[in-house]
Amino acid sequence: MTSVISVENLSKKYIIGHQKQESYNNLREEITQGVSRFITKLTHPFAETKEDITHEEFWALKNVSFDIQQGERIGIIGGNGAGKSTLLKILSRITEPTSGKVSIKGRVASLLEVGTGFHPELSGRENVFLNGAILGMSKAEIKKLFDEIVAFAEVEKFLDTPVKRYSSGMYVRLAFSVAANLGSEILIVDEVLGVGDANFQKKCMGKIEDASNDGRTVLFVSHSMSMISELCQKGILLKQGGVLFQGEMSDTLMAYHQDNRGDESKNVNHPKAEYEGEYAILLSVELVGAGDAAGFTIHDELVIRMKYRIKKEAMAQFVPEFHVYRTDESCAFVTHAEGVVNARVLPGEYVAECKIPGRLLNDGGYYVGAALGAYFPDHWNDEFYDPNALTFNIVDPMDQRSRYGYLGPIPGAVRPRLVWNINRSKDN
C-alpha cells in the first residue's frame, strides 16, 4: 500500500505568557501607586510600560512520528490537552510545526470546527463553490457534484441564505457534505459530528466508510469511543503531545483505558483515596482466570475479585456491584450481589467475587467499574465507585469456527452458548 501521510519527529511549541499575580492593596496604596503611574506617564510619555509577565514554553506536540496508508481509517484519541487538535491543524496546513517533517500526498479536506472554511457573509451555494475552488476543482466539476452535496446536507431551502444565519446543525451538515463529497483524497474530521442529530451522524459514518472503500484516507478524532470503534480500523493514542500507542483500534482503546487507570499492572487495581466512603474503602480489584489480561479466551471462566474494608460498624446492607463495559464504552452488563440481607456489619476486610462463565463474553477489550452500595433502613448511598478498576482482553482462538470457514468478526458484547432445538416440521 502507498503511504499518503508520513509524519517524522513532528513538534509544535507555543509560548504562554503568565501575568504575575498581584497582592491586594489597601485604598491608600492604590491611590499612591496610581498617582505615581500618572506622574511617570506625564514626565516620560514614550517610556515602555513594564508588566510583570513571565513566559513559559508549552509543547503541544513532541517528536510525533507515524505513517498512514492509502484508504485507511485512523482514529486519534487521547485526553484533553493530548495534542489531537494541534496535530490535525498541522496536517490541514492551518498551523505550522515548530520542527519535524510532514509529507502528504493528495488533496486534504478538513472539518475541524463548525464552519471551517466557510465565509459567513456568503450563501450556502456560494460557499460550496468557494470550497471546491480552494481544493483546486473547476466550476464544471463542482456543478457535477452540487446536487449530491445539497441532498446529503438537507439544506435545499436555505441554499441562498448567508451561512451566518445557519444553526450549528445546518452548518455542520453542509460543511461535512462539502468535505466528504468534493474530490479530496484525504478527509480529516474532528469532534464536530457531535453537533448533528443521531440520524445525520449515522449518515456521516456511512459516508466515511464509503469514502474509505473508494480509496480515500480518513483521520477521525472523537471522544465517543463507540463511534470511533465502529468507524476506524487503526488508532493512534496521544498523551501530553506524544504518541503513547498506535496499532489496531481495539488495542488502542485498551491502551487508553489502561493508561487512565494509572496502573502498570494489567489486571490489578490498587487502593486509591478517592474510592473511600464514610463506612468503606476499596482495597483492590483483580481478575482471576486461566489466561492473563492480555488474552483470556472466550472459553475461559473468569472471576472478578474485589477487596474492601468496612471501617466502622453499621446497620446496613452493603451490596458489591460490577459494571462491565466494552472499550468502546458500550455497556456489556451490570451485576450486583443478590440475597444479601440487612445485618449489623462489623469492621474488617471483605472479599466479593463474581464468576463470569466461559462462552458468555465476545472477543474484544473490556473494562470493569467496581462499586459498593450502602442500603440503610431510611436511605442509601454509594460508598465508592471506581469506573475503571481493571481492563482485560478476550480473544477468539477460532478453534471451532475454523471448521465452518467463517473467521470474520461477530458483533455484540456477549456471545453466549444458548440452548437450541431443531426438528423436522410435522407438516412435511
Q: What tens digit of pLDDT does each residue of 89-98 get? A: 999 888 899 9
Q: Compute the distance between CA of residue 173 and CA of residue 387 in angstroms, rounded to an integer.
A: 34
Q: Which of 227, 259, 291 is the last residue of a domain?
A: 259
The confidence score (pLDDT) of residue 372 equals: 95
Q: Which of 204, 235, 259 is the last residue of a domain?
A: 259
Q: How many residues does the chain have?
A: 428
Q: Worst-scoring range by mean pLDDT, 36-45, 178-187, 263-272, 316-325?
A: 263-272
Residues 225 and 284 in one domain: no
Pairing of strands 302-310, 331-336: unpaired
Average pLDDT over residues 218-231: 83
Residues 231 and 350 in one domain: no
Q: What tens digit of pLDDT does each residue of 378-422 get? A: 888 899 999 989 888 888 877 666 666 666 778 888 888 889 999
The confidence score (pLDDT) of residue 339 equals: 73
Q: Count of domains in the chain?
A: 2
Whether 337 is in a domain gets the answer yes
Is residue 398 left, alpha or beta, with left meaning phi > 0 and alpha meaning psi from -120 to 50?
left
CATH of the domain at 378: 2.70.50.60
CB 101 within 8 Å of CB 43: no
How many CB atoms sit inside 10 A of residue 245's CB? Answer: 19
Q: Which band of pLDDT confidence, cut at 50, 70 and 90, is reported for residue 266?
A: very low
The confidence score (pLDDT) of residue 137 equals: 79
Chain-wide mean pLDDT for the chain?
83
Whether 284 is in a domain gets the answer yes
How many CB atoms sit inside 10 A of residue 419's CB? Answer: 4
Average pLDDT over residues 336-343: 76
Average pLDDT over residues 171-189: 83
- Where helices occur in 95-160 by DSSP H, the ranges are 124-134, 139-153
CB 231 within 8 Å of CB 205: yes
Q: Compute the distance between CA of residue 127 and CA of residue 189 in angstroms, rounded to an integer.
A: 19
pTM summary value: 0.70
Answer yes or no: is pLDDT of 261 > 70. Answer: no
Average pLDDT over residues 303-327: 92
Answer yes or no: is pLDDT of 218 > 70. Answer: yes
The confidence score (pLDDT) of residue 352 equals: 94
The confidence score (pLDDT) of residue 259 equals: 83
Whether 246 is in a domain gets the answer yes
Select the more confidently predicted residue: 328 or 104: 104
The confidence score (pLDDT) of residue 370 equals: 95
Residues 255 and 276 in one domain: no
Q: What tens digit of pLDDT does each residue of 340-363 get? A: 666 778 899 999 999 999 999 998
Q: Compute the distance between CA of residue 223 and CA of residue 79 in angstroms, rounded to an integer.
A: 8
Select the more confidently predicted residue: 3 or 25: 3
Sign of CA dihedral 193, 195, 196, 201: positive
> Whose grid coordinates read 468502546?
328
Which among 368, 361, 356, 369 is positioned nearest to 395, based on CA atoms? 361
Q: Which domain holds residue 301?
A: 269-395
Taking the mean position of all CA atoms in its chain, how far away is CA 223?
Answer: 3
C-alpha cell read off for 304: 472478578
pLDDT above 70 as % of the chain:
81
- Beta bridge pairs of residue 104: 5
The confidence score (pLDDT) of residue 191 equals: 72
Q: What tens digit of pLDDT does each residue of 114-153 get? A: 556 688 899 999 988 888 887 777 888 888 889 988 888 8
The confidence score (pLDDT) of residue 47 equals: 60
| Residue 172 burial (C-beta neighbours within 10 Å; 0-12, 13-18, 19+) | buried
C-alpha cell read off for 136: 483546486
Average pLDDT over residues 199-221: 84
Q: Compute the distance between CA of residue 10 and CA of residue 69 in angstroms, rounded to an integer.
A: 18
Q: Which band of pLDDT confidence, cut at 50, 70 and 90, is reported for residue 293?
A: very low
Residues 80 and 205 in one domain: yes
Whether 92 is in a domain gets the answer yes
Taking the mean position of all CA atoms in its chain, how far away is CA 132?
Answer: 30
The confidence score (pLDDT) of residue 311 equals: 93
